[in-house]
Amino acid sequence: MSFSNEQTEELKVKLLEEKKRILSHLKTAKKNSSFGENIDDTDDETEETEEFANYLGVERVEEDAIHDIDVALEKMKEGLYGACEQCGNQISYELLSIEPESALCKECKLAEK
Ligand SMILES: [Zn+2]
């Protein structure tokens, strides 16, 4: 890992902040949803199922994001953070400062699209 301690620390803070933001959003989404409250009210069932499906979609995206962040934090602990999973090259600090959970370097990201 060729980043300075300051840079790594900065990226770690970003990762932790992002995780916190997503977690609190997930929590709010769960709190605002009324799923399970109208169990006896069968009239709403269809509508509620649809709503629930949408809700699960958002939740899955956010849980994926949390997973990526956790993987990045784990790599940081092991000193593997910042290496591209595809080609093994160093991911630029520029890219990581925008997307700290990124597991691919710019070239591999572009090649993927
Ligand atoms: Zn790469």
- Write the class of the CATH domain 5-112: mainly alpha
Burial class (CB in 10 A: 0-12, 13-18, 19+), 99: middle
CA of 71 to the centre of ligand 1 (A): 17
Q: pTM (2 decimals)?
A: 0.75
Tokens encoding 43: 């009239």
CA of 110 to the centre of ligand 1 (A): 9
How many Cβ atoms are within 10 Å of 90's Cβ, its own excluded? 14
Distance CA 45, CA 38 (A): 9
**Which segments of the chain have a pLDDT < 70?**
1, 33-47
Structure confidence at residue 88 (pLDDT):
95
pLDDT digits (tens, 9 = 90+) for 15-36: 999 999 999 998 888 777 655 5
Beta carbons within 8 Å of 11's beta carbon, 6+ residues apart: 3, 76, 81, 96, 97, 100
DSSP string, 30-41: HHH--TTTTTT-
Structure confidence at residue 40 (pLDDT):
54
